[in-house]
A and B are shown apart, each in its own frame.
Chain A
Amino acid sequence: MLREMRNPVLTFDGMSKRFADGTVALAGVDLSVASGEFVGVVGPSGCGKSTLLRIVSGLTAASEGKVMVDTDKIGYVFQDPTLLPWRTVQANVELLAELGDLPKQERRRRANEAIELVGLSDFARHHPRALSGGMRMRVSLARSLTLQPELFLFDEPFGALDEITRERLNDELLQLFLTQQFTALFVTHSVTEAVFVSKRVVVMSGRPGRVVGDFPVPFEYPRAPRLRFDEEFAHLAGEVSACLRGERRRPSQPSPPPRPVEGIAHR
């Protein structure tokens, strides 16, 4: 079955970013993300992965090249859960809807729904300090979900968590991806994590960052946790790692749109 061609939600065309101090973080990034895609981005630390997300979200402007973002419903999940410690889980999840001036009832409804989705209904009245790291991250996810984003940006969201928690959250994130219908750009420093969650893994070079590899991931969703121990999975992860180390380079895809790949299920 061929994947249907969808419009890109996000396109970078020769995009570069130079900071005021002269540091060049990104140099000529070409990348396109189609609607409904889950794209993982891996790269050595300091290669501008986070800057990439900041540019997509509009927090920072690109210095050169084109950036096209086809939605203003963007969810941004930082590495730190960025919860407000004085607010309860419920109030934290309501925050974005509150900043967007949604009526109180609607905020409450959306927050309850999102909290339920991440399985924290029993903790709605707790303060963040009473929660574990993984639970805080779930609250952070729920908070973004209330705005029903079309494009989700993840900046190493599970990087600070232990492996067991991280893998569980990967599974839960994929569940959300399948039910909530968003496009995702997922930055991580873990190759295994990137391959496990993504439909496509993009490899970036060291600073200044640009795209040096683009790997389709041929596994169907939903993905079982044991996929991580699959031979084909290990092989692909090995290839991505080699590319990351600069041993083998695959030219970045001339996208948009993403290359049709056989055997990938539709969402």
Chain B
Amino acid sequence: MSVGTDIPGPHDATVAGPTQAAVRLRPSRHERWLSLWGPPFLVLLAVTGVWYGVSYLLLDVDRRFLLPPPHDVLQVAFLDRYNLADLLDGLWLSTRVAFLGFAVAIVIGVALAIAMSQARWIERSLYPYAVMTQTIPILAMVPLFGLWFGYGFPSRTLVVVIFAIFPIIASTLFGLQSVQREHHDLFTLHGANRFTRLWKLQFPAALPAVFTGLRIAAGLAVIGAIVGDTFFRQGEAGIGILIDRYQSRLQSEQMVAAILLSSLLGIVVFWFFGFLAKRVVGSWHESAGDAGP
């Protein structure tokens, strides 16, 4: 019995393969743009549709303040000069707090991770306390920080540091320890000292993991800035204080706008670190962050 000739043989595959692959790999710019931005845009449309549905179909006029429709939010919060100025000032303050806290968290977090990677006893001594930054009821600590350090910039920054530091420590440490034994052997054989090993082997090897940690931590830093702000309820108004204020005044359009802005900030920093990861480790590491949406 002859094996059916209609079964595609390797020859067919090689003919069909590259052509199809070429079509798939080289879509036009327009197609690429569409495939990149199309799906998230569709989701945005759907969410806006649901939003309108809730505002107009679920809520009657008296209760529409619970979720004002999108165009009201746009009108009241973004097209009104004074309201917009309040929001942007708050956003600017929260952004500064988030960035400074994040920067401090990176410096301290990476330094702690490097220290832990150098000796087991350091890791054993410090790691439990690093975990504590995650388990500590931070909201309960916030009033204490206020009492200790005041309600200004420093204590808000401190809240951000505590929010953001753990993923940085954990992922950096993981990255530094992920180096294969053979690579260590190679460096040992050629007499590399601790610093050379760290600088030329462990640190570059850790970069992909570090960037993963930074992306997570960046989002947490934004949340930390807003949470700290919300709970201080005093001092210069960041996004958190604004949200609190709008809530008490039932200014729900501005409140929704403030929430939108803060999540936008989170998305922007998340993207930024994805982009940075791609630039720094994309040439050699496959799982480097995707800069797309």
Report the count of interface residues on B (CB-CB < 8 A): 22
Q: Which residues of B contact A98 (CB under 8 A)?
A: 200
Contacts A85-B285, A86-B281: A74 and B189 contacting too (C-beta < 8 A)?
A: yes
Residue B190 CB within 8 A of the other chain = yes
A262 to B220, CA, bound (A): 75
Q: Chain A contacts of B283 at CB under 8 A?
A: 86, 127
Instruction: State how many angstroms separate the Cβ of A44 from the closest Cβ of chain B.
Output: 22
With A and B bound together, what is the CA distance between A235 and B97 in angstroms?
78
- Within residues 191 to 225 of chain B, which ones have a CB less than 8 A from any CB in chain A? 191-192, 196, 200-201, 204-205, 207
Stretch at the interface among B4-12, B28-36, B109-117, B180-188: B180-188
A80's nearest neighbour on chain B, judged by CB, is: B182
Q: Are A127 and B284 in contact (CB under 8 A)?
A: yes
Min Cβ gap A193→B in Å is 21
**Residues B284 and A78 in contact, CB atoms below 8 Å apart:** no
Contacts of A175 in B (CB 8 A): none
In the bound complex, CA of A96 to CA of B201 (Å):
12
Asked if B180 contacts A80 (CB within 8 A), the reply is yes
Contact of A82 with B186 in the complex, beta carbons under 8 Å:
yes
Contact of A96 among B182, B190, B281 (CB under 8 A): B190
| Complex-state Cα separation, A96 to B186, whole angstroms | 9
Residues of A within 8 A of B185 (CB): 54, 59, 76, 78, 82
CA distance A132 to B204 in the complex (A): 22
- Output the nearest chain A residue to B188 by Cβ-Cβ distance: A59
Indicate with 1 or 0, residue by residue over A98-119, a CB within 8 angstroms of chain B CB atoms: 1110000000000000000000
Give per-residue flags for A63-79: 1 if the beta carbon is below 8 A from chain B beta carbons, else 0: 00000000000101010
- Asked whether, in the complex, the Cβ of B204 is within 8 Å of the Cβ of A78, the reply is no
Is B80 engaged at the interface, CB distance under 8 Å to the other chain? no
Which residues 4-45 of B have a CB within 8 angstroms of A? none
A86-B186 contact, Cβ under 8 Å, with A80-B180, A99-B191, A99-B192? no
With the chains together, A78 CA to B182 CA distance in Å? 7
Contacts of A58 in B (CB 8 A): 189
Known: A78-B182, A80-B180, A99-B192. A129 touches B207 (CB 8 A): no
Of B183, B189, B196, B201, most A-chain CB atoms within 10 Å: B189
Q: Which of A74, A80, A99 is the most central at the interface, judged by chain B CB atoms within 10 Å of its CB?
A: A99
- What 0/1 pattern do residues 153 to 197 of B give for CB contact below 8 A with A? 000000000000000000000000000101101111111100010
State whether the Cβ of B286 lies closer than 8 Å to any Cβ in chain A.
yes
Instruction: Report Cα–Cα, A82/B186, bound state, in Å.
Output: 8
Min C-beta distance of A154 to chain B, whole Å? 14
Write out the residue numbers on chain B whose beta carbons fall within 8 Å of the beta carbon of A128: 284
The smallest beta-carbon distance between A142 and chain B, in angstroms, is 14
Q: Give the tally of cross-chain contacts (CB within 8 A).
A: 50
CA distance A54 to B185 in the complex (A): 9
Chain A neighbourhood of B205, CB < 8 A = 84, 86
Q: B281, A78: Cβ atoms under 8 Å?
A: no
B201 partner residues in chain A, CB cutoff 8 A: 84
- Report chain A residues within 8 Å CB of B183: 82, 84
**A57 CA to B190 CA, complexed, in Å:** 10
Q: Which residues of A contact B286 (CB under 8 A)?
A: 129
Give the residue name and chain of the B residue nearest to A96 (CB): B190
Shortest distance in angstroms between A211's beta carbon and chain B's nearest beta carbon? 24
Q: Contact check, A99 vs B281: say whether CB atoms are below 8 A apart.
A: no
Expressed in whole angstroms, the minimum distance between the Cβ of A95 and any Cβ of chain B is 8
Contact of A76 with B189 in the complex, beta carbons under 8 Å: yes
Scoring A residues 40 to 54 as 1 if CB is less than 8 Å from chain B, else 0, what string do you get? Answer: 000000000000001
A95 to chain B: which residues have CB within 8 Å?
A: 200
Q: Which residue of A lies closest to B196 (CB)?
A: A99
Q: Give chain B interface residues in 275-293, CB to chain A under 8 Å.
A: 281, 283-286
Binary interface encoding of chain B residues 86-112 relative to chain A, with 1 for a CB under 8 A from any of its CBs, else 0: 000000000000000000000000000
In the complex, given contacts A59-B188, A96-B190, what are 19 additional A-B residue pairs having Cβ atoms less than 8 angstroms apart? A57-B189, A59-B185, A78-B182, A80-B180, A82-B180, A82-B185, A84-B200, A84-B204, A86-B205, A86-B207, A86-B281, A86-B283, A86-B285, A99-B190, A99-B192, A127-B284, A128-B284, A129-B284, A129-B286
A sample of 5 inter-chain contacts (CB < 8 A) reads: A76-B189, A78-B186, A82-B183, A99-B187, A128-B284
Which B residues lie at the A interface, using CB under 8 A? 180, 182-183, 185-192, 196, 200-201, 204-205, 207, 281, 283-286
Instruction: Give A residues with C-beta under 8 Å from B.
Output: 54, 57-59, 74, 76, 78, 80, 82, 84-86, 95-96, 98-100, 127-129
Closest 6 CB pairs of A and B: A99-B190, A82-B182, A85-B284, A86-B284, A127-B284, A86-B204
